[in-house]
Amino acid sequence: MQKIDNPERENWDKIVKRPTVQIDDVESTVTEVFNEVRSKGDIALGKYTSLFDGVQLDEIQVGDSEIQQANNVVGDSLKEAIDIAKNNILAFHSAQKTERVEVQTTPGVTCWQEKRPIEKVGLYIPGGTAPLFSTILMLAIPAQLAGCKEVILCTPPDKQGAVNPTILYTASLCGVKKIFKVGGIQAIAAMTFGTQTVPSVYKIFGPGNQFVTVAKQYATRYNVAIDMPAGPSELLVVADQSSNPEYIASDLLSQAEHGVDSQVILVSTDSNTIDKVQQAIEKQLEDLPRKAIASKAIENSRFIYFDNHESALEFINTYGPEHFIIASSNEQFYSDGVCNAGSVFIGKYTPESAGDYASGTNHTLPTNGYAKQYSGVNLDSFLKSITFQKISQQGIKNIGNAIELMAEAEGLFAHKNAVSIRLKDIN
């Protein structure tokens, strides 16, 4: 843990730097895998699944019997919890639907905007020690609401060639019918190009390690969109003397256990609170099954004291956290003033975990400062806005001359003529 008192602004850039794990030749590895998947399809998927996941598969598509078996394995209490989360996520994302926007900009000139679903989307769901079945809810539910025609899911198999049963159960619950046992770079490549078994898609969603992150960004070179350039998870908490140090410690650790390259930051206008939170973290760490991971992430943590709320808020907006918890009595000041954050959690009874699972908001959020430019995943992430216009005879007369003058000024005389020829007929 690093404690910093009233840092000077010229040092903020260094403080807000994320602890990204450096892996040599990531892009060269991604390029190699992409090229092979593009040329060899399923054969390349088999090769890299064997190499990276340690298993050889006869079939990479999950069958109905596997889904049924997963349904039998998942316990009733977990199913009920997933249902609660699903209903809340469905309610929040359903409320994001918007109607057609139509306006007559000039008499005879009608313009409108309608939304259409992205036809084919791919969801990437990590497996391993933390199978993120909750991310399926966050991605498949808005995809369904948007009306995407084809939704496919890729997730890595375990050493026995199986997929975590809760992932299969949740995917089936959300109506995902095409599930493939493919992980890592090769999964992103398969969804980019398509193989004999895995369909190509127009947009790829979902988190992953640094290899997956680079692979998603590489996929954009081949006209495939991605949700956002996401990286390791992060959390910033702002606190003061009114805060509960035990709560804050638990929130910071909840993010720290994601991975060794996760980052957690505490900003406080009360130095005693910082000391109490540090003590609570050391105590709570002892009981965590993922203590080794969380401890490593805590090494990259920052505990920053500011002697005024204005500087604290300015720093928070400079950092642009993925998750931002307001644990301060001055919560209105921070909630009104924050402009760079993926998702905001207000008050002592609003843990970040609620947004990860069951409150209803989406947990697929921008990291690494991208909250300054990107929104988290929402219903619109699965939609495109298409504009329409219809111009009457009177309408083209009203705006025709303006179009002619502007086109001529830009030297685009064919543009001008497309209007002139119509006005000539009318007159």
Query: Which residues does the annotation mark as catalytic?
Result: 322-323
CB contact at 8 A, 34 and 185: yes
**Is residue 93 a known part of a binding site?**
no
Find the length of the chain: 427
The reply, when asked if residue 356 is annotated as ligand binding, is: yes
Round to whole Å and give the CA distance between 79 and 67. Answer: 14
List, in sequence order, the alpha helices (H) in 300-412: 309-319, 331-337, 352-357, 393-409
309 annotated ligand-binding residue: no
Provide the pairing of β-strand 150-155 with 178-181: parallel
Residues 6 or more apart whose Cβ sits within 8 Å of residue 327? 237, 238, 239, 240, 243, 244, 247, 248, 251, 347, 348
Cα 204 to Cα 142, 187, 320, 348: the distances in Å are 14, 10, 24, 35
Q: What is the largest CA-CA distance in the chain?
A: 85
255 is in an annotated binding site: yes
410 known member of a binding site: yes
The per-residue DSSP string of 22-89 comes to P-TTHHHHHHHHHHHHHHHTHHHHHHHHHHHHS---S--BPPHHHHHHHHHHS-HHHHHHHHHHHHHH
Dihedral angle sign, alpha carbons of residues 267, 272, 275, 281 = negative
List, as one string, the DSSP characters of 140-190. Answer: HHHHHHHT-SEEEEEE---TTS---HHHHHHHHHTT--EEEE--HHHHHHH
398 known member of a binding site? no
Confirm or deny that 227 is annotated as ligand binding. Answer: no
Q: Is 200 exposed, middle or buried (0-12, 13-18, 19+ CB in 10 A)?
A: middle
Q: What DSSP character marks residue 366? A: -
> Nearest CA to 189 among 59, 56, 52?
52
Is 210 annotated in a binding site? The answer is no
What is the distance between the terminal CA atoms of the chain, rounded to a whole angstrom?
78
> From CA 303, how far away is CA 313, in angstroms rounded?
15
Distance CA 39, CA 195 (A): 9
Q: Is 363 annotated in some ligand binding site?
A: no
Q: State yes or no: 258 annotated in a binding site.
A: yes
Annotated binding site for substrate: 233, 255, 258, 323, 356, 410, 415
Annotated binding site for Zn(2+): 255, 258, 356, 415
Annotated binding site for NAD(+): 124, 186, 209
Annotated binding site: 124, 186, 209, 233, 255, 258, 323, 356, 410, 415
